[in-house]
Amino acid sequence: MMDILGLGATAVDHLIYVPSYPPPNVKSHVQRSERQCGGLTATALVAASRLGARCAYAGMLGRDDASQFVAETLQREGIDLSHLIVRDDAGPIRSTIIVGTDRGTRNVFPEHPAQCGAHPTLPPEPVIRNARVLFVDHVGIEGMIRAARVARAAGIPIVSDIERDLPGCRELLELVDHVVMSWDFARALTGAHSPEEGIYRLWTPRRALVAVTCGEDGCFFSDDGQVVSHQPAFRVQVADTTGCGDVFHGAYCAALAKGMPAAERIRLASAAAALKATRTGGQAGAPTLEQTLRFLGAQN
């Protein structure tokens, strides 16, 4: 049995570091550039694996160099690819990410292939039922809905990282019992005026937890739809926010697979995301379990 199964977005990120994000029609000196594996699901799985979870990826990749780069990276991180689906028209998202080193912020410019993320009819249902946690995003929405229905019927917790209100996303969200969502998207989706209101609007009887992440303002969450708790953000020296949300999701999944209570899941995820923010890159900055626990111990 695997701890976490992911089917969604993988990416090849070309990170370009500049002194600050430039205004239009100017030249900006590039301090350095590098290529990393990224993507909502891929980064979440890497983060969870570094925290000790047994992870598998069963989405689609192609036969191109970018797909090979992603596959090699995931394998190196200990992620099971035995159920990977290979198609000629599939591949990872290719993203150009401009990082302003003055504030550690980034702007992302993604380019999508013809096929990416979850396959409409694969992996087989027994593979999905063999996971302790199913992680879903909005890439390959038809396959995500299918997998979520299988997991829901089997009583497997589903954690979501949905960032866009695309066709099918609301149907998928109805199947999710652990909703972890940025405040920007929660506000756009629900029309709420505060994270607390957003949680109440996102809550349904099917939910086990709703969390709204607010960057430097921390995370608001509820596991009963009535009482909203707040986990303050850990104060760190920010170098690069690329992948912080993905690492938060992966750490949350790892904590859920371990059976940790809600407040401890959120605290662990917040610590992992904070540590990632101190390092450049997305997946490259994801901390290990030892590093995260040491960091948490120093907060007491």
Mean pLDDT within 111-117: 94
Cβ–Cβ < 8 Å for 54, 137: no
Residue 1 above 80 pLDDT?
A: yes
Tens of pLDDT along 15-47?
Answer: 899 999 989 999 999 999 999 999 999 999 999
Tell me the pLDDT band of 104, cut-offs 50, 70 and 90. Answer: confident
The Cα-based distances of 203 to 104, 136, 186, 237, 264 in angstroms read: 33, 18, 12, 34, 20
- Mean pLDDT computed over every residue of the chain: 96
CA nearest neighbour of 257 among 75, 77, 131: 131
- Predicted pLDDT at 280: 83
Is residue 216 over pLDDT 80?
yes
pLDDT band of residue 105 (cuts 50, 70, 90) is confident
- Helices 262-277 and 244-257, packing angle to 10 deg: 150
From the candidate CATH numbers 2.60.40.10, 3.40.640.10, 1.10.340.30, 3.40.1190.20, the one assigned to the domain spanning 2-21+31-288: 3.40.1190.20
Give the start-to-end residue ranges of the domains of the chain.
2-21+31-288
Average pLDDT over residues 51-57: 98
Kindly report, residue by residue over 78-92, the tens digit of the pLDDT. Answer: 999 999 999 999 999
Question: Looking at residues 130-158, what average pLDDT do you find?
Answer: 98
With 90 as the cut, is the pLDDT of residue 281 above it? no
Q: Is residue 187 packed enough to be buried (19+ CB in 10 Å), middle (13-18) or exposed (0-12)?
A: middle
Per residue in 248-270, pLDDT tens?
Answer: 999 999 999 999 999 999 999 99
Q: What angle do CA 153, 142, 106 make, to 5 degrees?
A: 110
Q: Is the pLDDT of residue 300 over 80?
A: no
Share of the chain above pLDDT 70, in %: 100
What's the pLDDT at 282? Answer: 84
Q: Does residue 221 carry a pLDDT above 80?
A: yes
CA distance 289 to 169: 32
Distance of alpha carbon 289 from alpha carbon 300, whole angstroms:
17
CA 103 to chain centre: 22
Residue 33, pLDDT score: 94
The β-bridge relationship of strands 11-18 and 32-38 is antiparallel
Residue 2 to residue 268: CA distance in whole angstroms: 20
Specify the pLDDT at position 180.
98
pTM: 0.93
Alpha helical stretches, state H, the chain: 40-50, 65-76, 125-129, 141-154, 169-175, 183-190, 195-202, 244-257, 262-277, 289-299
Query: Which pLDDT does position 103 carry in this prediction?
Result: 86
User: Per the structure block, which two tokens stand in for 199?
Assistant: 């949680």
**pLDDT value at residue 27:** 92
Q: Beta-carbon neighbour count of residue 275 at 10 Å? A: 23
Give the residue from 87, 39, 37, 41 showing the smallest Cα distance to 61.
87
Sign of CA dihedral 290, 292, 293, 299: positive
SS3 96: strand
**Residue 154: pLDDT over 80:** yes
192 band by pLDDT with thresholds 50, 70 and 90 = very high
pLDDT value of position 294: 97
